[in-house]
């Protein structure tokens, strides 16, 4: 189920993510309630202040940029420790204890027993990584599981999204990025999932609407470069 749609090399996937860094940060920040425009997001990522954007919103954007840069550059395979590192970055200015697993109960009760770090999360992660299924399937499962279980004090949605995309990038499977024009549908689906614990409908929808990448047509008889770039370093 959910076969990988894209088959890139790790470096190609990294390049694809870097090329779309501003758009990825823009989308992620909008899902966090930051209402900047794409040009404002670009300005902030470039290291300048944007008129009308609060310090808090600017911090969210800057730390998302740093989080994306980390998952793009990190050579080590995804682990719970890398998840902590991601949270340390993206939730640096709005978490009670950035990078640390939650050890208390949730503030708002949703009618389930979720909301704090449990030792079985180690087994869940290890079992998922060893499961005989596609990378895309694993990434979606990890992302939505971690969002619902709220392993960290804050920034769980951002952390889960970047961790899932770290897995996608490492295996050349593209990126998970829900388009803004479909945000209302996604919000409705994830709200239902938070209450039910059944992510199948949400994963089905995400697979159709939220998996992005690039496909190369190598069959075309097009000219190729005939130099070695290393000769010009």
Mean pLDDT of the chain: 92
Lowest-confidence region among 36-40, 120-124, 139-143, 179-183: 120-124
Lowest-confidence region among 8-17, 27-36, 75-84, 223-232: 223-232
- pTM greater than the 0.85 cutoff: yes
CATH number, span 10-101+112-209: 1.10.3290.10
Q: Cβ-count burial of 80 within 10 angstroms (0-12 exposed, 13-18 middle, 19+ buried)?
A: middle
Cα separation, 162 vs 149, in Å, equals 16
Q: What pLDDT, in 10s, does the model give residues 174-224? A: 999 999 999 999 999 999 999 999 999 999 999 999 999 998 876 667 778
Q: Cβ-count burial of 99 within 10 angstroms (0-12 exposed, 13-18 middle, 19+ buried)?
A: buried
Domain range annotation of the chain: 10-101+112-209
Q: What pLDDT, in 10s, does the model give residues 17-65? A: 999 999 999 999 998 899 999 999 999 999 999 999 999 999 999 999 9
List, as one string, the DSSP characters of 113-179.
S-SS--THHHHHHHHHHHSSS-HHHHHHHHHHHHHHHT-BSS-HHHHHHHHHHHHHHHTT--EE---
> What H or E segment, with its residue span, contains residue 57?
helix 55-73
């Amino acid at each position: 189920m959910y076969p990988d749609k894209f088959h890139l090399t790790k470096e190609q996937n990294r390049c694809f993510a870097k090329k779309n860094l501003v758009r990825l940060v823009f989308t992620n920040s909008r899902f966090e309630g930051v209402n900047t425009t794409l040009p404002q997001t670009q300005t902030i990522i470039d290291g300048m202040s944007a008129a009308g954007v609060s310090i808090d919103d600017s911090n969210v954007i800057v730390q998302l940029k740093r989080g994306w840069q980390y998952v793009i550059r990190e050579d080590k395979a995804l682990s719970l420790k890398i998840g902590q590192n991601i949270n340390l970055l993206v939730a640096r200015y709005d978490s009670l204890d950035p990078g640390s697993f939650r050890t208390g109960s949730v503030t708002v009760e949703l009618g389930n027993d979720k909301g704090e770090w449990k030792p079985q999360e180690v087994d869940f992660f290890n079992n998922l990584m060893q499961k005989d299924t596609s990378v895309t399937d694993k990434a979606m499962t990890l992302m939505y599981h971690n969002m619902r279980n709220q392993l960290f004090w804050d920034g769980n949605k951002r952390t889960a999204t970047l961790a899932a995309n770290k897995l996608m990038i490492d295996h050349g499977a593209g990126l998970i990025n829900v388009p803004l024009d479909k945000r209302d549908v996604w919000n409705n689906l994830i709200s239902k999932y938070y209450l039910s614990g059944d992510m199948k409908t949400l994963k089905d929808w995400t697979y159709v609407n939220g998996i992005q990448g690039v496909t190369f047509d190598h069959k075309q008889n097009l000219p190729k470069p005939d130099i070695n770039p290393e000769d010009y370093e």
